Structure 1
Amino acid sequence: MTRDLAPLRYLQRLPIRRASTFLVASTIAQGLTALAGLMIAHWTSIADYGLYTIVTTLMGAIIILTSGGAQLSFTAILGRTWPAMDRAAEAQEAVMRMRRRLAPIMLPPVLGAAFALLLHNGAALETAICLCVFLLMFWWADLHGRLAEQVLYFARRTSRVQAVEIGLAALRILAVLALHALGMLDIYWAVGLSVLVALLKVGPMVNWSRQIIGRERGWREEDRREVRLAVRQQLPVDLYHVFQAQIVIVALSLFAGVSDVAGLGAIGRIQQLLLPVDAFTYAFCVPIFAQATRNLLRKYWALVMLTMAPALLLLGVAYLAPWILLALVGPNYAGLDFEILVAAAVALANRGSLTAWRLVAHRGWTGYSWLQIPVGLGTCVLIALVVDIGTIAGALTLTLSLTLGRLAAAGAELIAAHRRGALMPRAAGGWP
C-alpha cells in the first residue's frame, strides 16, 4: 500500500455500519428539514421569503457569536477526558457560564442588525419586532440544546438525536402543509415553526445528557481558563465570519433588492441537501479526530475527502442537469441556472474548508484562527474589485473568501502541530 493511498485505507477502519446507519437516518431528518424549507420557498411570497432569508442568516450569526470558541473548547475537553463523566459535567458547566456571559455582549448588535435589515427590506415595524423576539427565543434553544447534543454524540447516542430530529422535521412539514391549505403560511409562521422545532428539541437532549453525565457539578478553574482562552482566540474570527455573512445580505439589499435576497435564500436551500454531511461531521468526524492519539494526518485527510464527496456529486448535478435543482425551489427562481452552478461550486469549496478547519479547531488547535481574518478580508476585497457583488452569483462568490481563510488557518495549525510533534507518533507495528 503506497503512502498516497493510506487515507483511503483508513476509511475502511471507520465504524462503517454505525456511520452508514447514521447517514441514512440523518439524510431522512435533514431531507425532511430541507423539504419544509423548499415548501416555504414555493408557497410564500418573494417579499416574505426575502425576510425569511435575513432571519435564517442571523440565526447562524447568533450561533457563531454566542458559542464559537466556547463550543470548540468543550469538544476539545471531551476529546481528552471522555469517558470521565464528572469531567464532562464540569466542562459543560464552564462552557454554559461562558456562553451566558457572551450573550449580553453579542446579542444586542445582532438583534439591532436584524431589525435594521428587516426594516430596509420592507418589513413593517411590528413584523421586525416579532422576528427579533423569535431570534431571542432561538438563542435560548441553542444555548441549552447544543452542549447536550455534543455529549450524546460522544456517548454514541446518535440514534436518539436522529429520532427526535426526524419526528420534529415531519411535524414541521405537516404544519407547513396545513398552514398552506388554510392560506395562513406567511413570514410569522415560517420563522415561528423553525423556532418551535428548536425549542421542542431542547427537552429530550438535556434530559438524555443528564442521564449520561448527571447534573451540573460545578466547574474547574483549568476548564474556565481553557474556555476563556478559546473564546478570546476565536472571537475575532467569529466576528469576521458574521461580517462576511451579513455583507452578502447587505450588498444585495443595497445594490439589488428584496427579490435578489429571496433568490439568494432560495439557492441556499439547495445547499441544505448537504446538511446530512454537516451532521455526520459533528457526530463522527469531530469526535474521531478529537479523540485520536496517532495517525492524525492520515485520519485528517481521509475525513476531509469523505465529507467532500457529496458536494462533488451536487456540483455534477448542477452542471449536467440544473433543472432538477431549480425545480426544487419553485417557479419564482426558475431562471437561475448559472447561479445554481455557482452555488454548487461554492458549496464544494466550503464543505472542504469547513471540515478541514473544524477538525483542527475542535481538537483545540486554534492558535492560528486569526489568520482567517487577513486572508479572508484580502480575498474579499479582491473579489469585490473583480466581480459584481450586486448580483446573486457575485454575492455567492464573495463567500469564497471565508473558504480561503479557513484553509489558511487549518494549514497553519497542521504545520504547527507537525513542528511540535503532535501529528506523531506512528502506530507500533503495521500500517500506522
Structure 2
Amino acid sequence: MRVKVFNQLSNNPKYAKTLEWVKLVTMTGFAQVFVQAISLVSGILVIRMLEPEEYALYTLGNTMLGTMTVLADGGISTGVMSQGGKVWLDRTKLGTVMATGMDLRRKFAVGSLLVSVPVLLYLMRHHNASWLMSVLIILSLIPSFFMALSGTLLQIAPKLRQDIGPLQRNSVILNVGRLVLLALTIFIFPWAFVAILAAGLPQIWGNFNLRKISAGYADWHQKPDPQVRTEILKMVRRLLPMGIYTCLSGQITIWLISIFGTTRGVAQLGALDRLSMALSFITILFGTLILPRFSRLPNNSGLLLRRFLQIQAGLLAMSACIILTVWLFSTQILMILGPNYSGLTKEVVLKIVISCLGIISTSTFSLFTSRSWAINPFISIPVSVASIALGVTFIDVSSLGGVLTLNIMIQLIQVTMNVTYTLIKIRRTNNSTLPTEI
C-alpha cells in the first residue's frame, strides 16, 4: 500500500516539481549559509585586526570596487541573461551569446578604470592616506575587479540549466581559500590593501573552474556575433544611464559620510555594511534559483503576475522577520564587531532596513530586466535624483543616523518604482502558448 502511494506521488507532476524545488533550495541554501558564515568570519577578522582609520580605507576601496564593477557591466550581464534565456538549450548559440558578452565586458572595463581610479585616489587622500598606501590599495583592487567581471558571466550558462551543485561547490572552496589566505596575512600585515588582495586572488582559481563548468553548456570557442552584440547593447543603452546613477545613489551613504562626515564615520558605516552583507546570500539564492526560471517563463500575463506576486510576498515576509530579529538582538549582534562599534544599536537596525529594501528593489529590478524590460532612464533617474535632493534638504547627512535615514527614503522610492513598472509591463504582456517546461 505504501509503495503504491509512493509511486503515485512520484508520478504526480506537482509532487515532482515540489521535490525538485526542495532539493534545489536545500542544497543552495546550505551552501550559501556556509559561504556567508565564512564571509562573515573573514569580515569580522578584518574589522577586528584593522584600526578604524585603516578600516575606513578598506571600506572606501571595496565601495569603489563595486562602483567599478557596475560601470564595467553597464547592463551587459542582464543582456546576456536575456539573450541566453532564448537559446539556453543550444550549446553553440549560447556560447555565441557568452563570447559576445565577454568581449563587450573587456571593452567596458577600460572605461570603468579610467573613471573610477582618479575618484578613489582623491577619496584616499581626502582621508589622509599616504600616496604609497593609496597606490597599493588601487593596485590590490585590480585582480578582484577583472575576476568579478568575468565571474558573473561564467555563471550564467549553468544557472540557465539549473546545474546548481558545481556552482555551490566552487563558491564554498573559493570562500574557504579567501579565509585561509586572509588568516595567513592579516595578523602579520594589518593593512587595508592586504585584506583586499587576499579576497581577490582566490577568485582567479574560481573563474578557471567556472569556465570548465560552463563549457558543458556553452561553447566558448564561438566568436562574438554582431547581431547578438546589437541586442545586448540595446539593453546596455537602456540600463547604462541607470547603472551610472546607481554608482552614485547605491553607495550614497558612503559618499556622503566620506565627504561631509569623519573617517571614523566611514569605518562605522563599513562595519555595519559588513554585518548586512550576511544577507547577500538571499540575493545569491534569488539569482540562482528564481531569476533564471522567471526569465524562462512564457509571455503569459496571468502566469507572470502570479509568479511575481508570490515572489514579492516572500521577499516582504522574509524582510519583516529579519528586521524584527535584528531589533530584538541588536546589542548582541554588535558584540561581534568589537568595542569600537558597540554603541550603534539604532544604526544597525536602520542599516538592516536599508538592506532588506535593497534586496526587494534589486530583486524586482532583476526580474523585469531578465524579460528584456527596462525603465526609461529619463523617468527613473529624475525620480531618484529628486528623492535624494529632497532628502538632503531636510535630513542632516553629516551624521551616520541621518545618512541611513536618507537611504531608507531613497530605497522606498526605488522599491515603489520598480514594483509599479513591473506590474505595468506584465499587464501589457501579450499571451503566448505555455511551454511544457517552465
**Structure 1 and Structure 2 fold alike (TM over 0.5):** yes
- 1:63-86 deviation digits (Å, cap 9, x = unpaired): 211113111111111212211111
2:364 to 338, 356, 362: 356
Assess if the C-alpha contact under 8 Å between 2:147 and 2:207 holds in 1. yes
Query: 2:202 & 2:36 partners in 1: Cα distance?
Result: 13
Residue 60 of structure 2 corresponds to 54
Query: 1:386 & 1:320 partners in 2: Cα distance?
Result: 29
Query: 1:377 & 1:302 partners in 2: Cα distance?
Result: 30
Assess if the C-alpha contact under 8 Å between 1:290 and 1:359 holds in 2. yes
- 1:385-425 deviation digits (Å, cap 9, x = unpaired): 22211122222233332452353144224313422x34x46
* Structure 1: segments with no counterpart, 5+ residues: 1-10
- 1:361-405 deviation digits (Å, cap 9, x = unpaired): 122111435533112111111111222111222222333324523
Count, aligned residues: 417
**Is 1:272 matched with 2:277?**
yes
Assess if the C-alpha contact under 8 Å between 2:99 and 2:220 holds in 1. no
Query: 2:221 & 2:316 partners in 1: Cα distance?
Result: 38
**Is 1:98 matched with 2:104?**
yes
Report which stretch shifted further, 281-290 or 163-172.
163-172
Assess if the C-alpha contact under 8 Å between 1:149 and 1:161 holds in 2. yes
Query: 1:98 & 1:162 partners in 2: Cα distance?
Result: 27
1:341 to 345, 349, 356: 349
Residue 397 of structure 2 corresponds to 389
Amino acid at match of 2:371: R
Classify 1:12/1:398 alpha carbon distance in 2 versus 1 (closer, same or farther; 3 Å): farther
Classify 1:200/1:370 alpha carbon distance in 2 versus 1 (closer, same or farther; 3 Å): farther
Report which stretch shifted further, 347-356 or 278-287.
347-356
What does residue range 70-149 of structure 1 map to in structure 2 within 5 Å?
A: 70-149=76-155
Q: Secondary structure at the match of 1:329?
A: coil
What does residue range 209-248 of structure 1 map to in structure 2 within 5 Å?
A: 209-248=214-253
Query: 2:118 & 2:202 partners in 1: Cα distance?
Result: 24
Query: 1:307 & 1:409 partners in 2: Cα distance?
Result: 14
Assess if the C-alpha contact under 8 Å between 1:368 and 1:413 holds in 2. no
Residue 365 of structure 1 corresponds to 373
Residue 12 of structure 2 corresponds to none
Residue 196 of structure 1 corresponds to 201
Residue 323 of structure 1 corresponds to 331
**Is 1:302 matched with 2:302?**
no
Assess if the C-alpha contact under 8 Å between 1:91 and 1:220 holds in 2. yes
**Is 1:160 matched with 2:166?**
yes
Classify 1:50/1:30 alpha carbon distance in 2 versus 1 (closer, same or farther; 3 Å): same
Tell me the TM-score normalised to structure 2 length. Answer: 0.89
Query: 1:375 & 1:72 partners in 2: Cα distance?
Result: 22
1:266 Cα deviation (Å)? Answer: 0.4
2:254 to 249, 254, 269: 249
- 1:81-127 deviation digits (Å, cap 9, x = unpaired): 21111111111122122222222222211111111111111211111
1:212 Cα deviation (Å)? Answer: 2.6
Classify 1:163/1:53 alpha carbon distance in 2 versus 1 (closer, same or farther; 3 Å): same
Query: 1:99 & 1:279 partners in 2: Cα distance?
Result: 21
**Is 1:27 matched with 2:33?**
yes
Residue 6 of structure 1 corresponds to none
Amino acid at match of 1:122: N
Assess if the C-alpha contact under 8 Å between 1:70 and 1:99 holds in 2. yes
Q: Secondary structure at the match of 1:217?
A: coil
Amino acid at match of 1:94: T
- 1:228-275 deviation digits (Å, cap 9, x = unpaired): 111111111011011124543232123221110010010111211211
After the TM superposition, which parts of structure 1 deviate over 6 Å for at least 4 consecutive aligned residues? Answer: none
Query: 1:146 & 1:336 partners in 2: Cα distance?
Result: 34
1:408 to 407, 411, 417: 417
Query: 1:177 & 1:193 partners in 2: Cα distance?
Result: 9
Query: 2:406 & 2:94 partners in 1: Cα distance?
Result: 39
Residue 287 of structure 1 corresponds to 292
Identity within the alignment, %: 20
* Structure 2: segments with no counterpart, 5+ residues: 1-16
- 1:14-47 deviation digits (Å, cap 9, x = unpaired): 7222122111111111221122112211221101
Classify 1:169/1:239 alpha carbon distance in 2 versus 1 (closer, same or farther; 3 Å): same
Classify 1:143/1:256 alpha carbon distance in 2 versus 1 (closer, same or farther; 3 Å): closer
Residue 5 of structure 2 corresponds to none
1:206 to 199, 211, 218: 211
Amino acid at match of 2:209: P
Classify 1:337/1:58 alpha carbon distance in 2 versus 1 (closer, same or farther; 3 Å): same
- 1:161-203 deviation digits (Å, cap 9, x = unpaired): 22122122223223333335x4423212211111113223111
Tell me the TM-score normalised to structure 1 length. Answer: 0.90
Amino acid at match of 2:214: S
1:377 to 354, 365, 385: 385
Q: What is the root-mean-square deviation in Å for CA atoms of aligned residues?
A: 2.3
Query: 1:91 & 1:425 partners in 2: Cα distance?
Result: 25
Q: Secondary structure at the match of 1:198?
A: helix
Assess if the C-alpha contact under 8 Å between 1:252 and 1:389 holds in 2. yes
Query: 2:317 & 2:26 partners in 1: Cα distance?
Result: 15
Amino acid at match of 1:85: R
Amino acid at match of 1:331: P
1:418 to 402, 414, 427: 427
Assess if the C-alpha contact under 8 Å between 1:277 and 1:307 holds in 2. no
Residue 179 of structure 1 corresponds to 185
Assess if the C-alpha contact under 8 Å between 2:357 and 2:411 holds in 1. no
Query: 1:301 & 1:307 partners in 2: Cα distance?
Result: 10
Classify 1:225/1:58 alpha carbon distance in 2 versus 1 (closer, same or farther; 3 Å): same
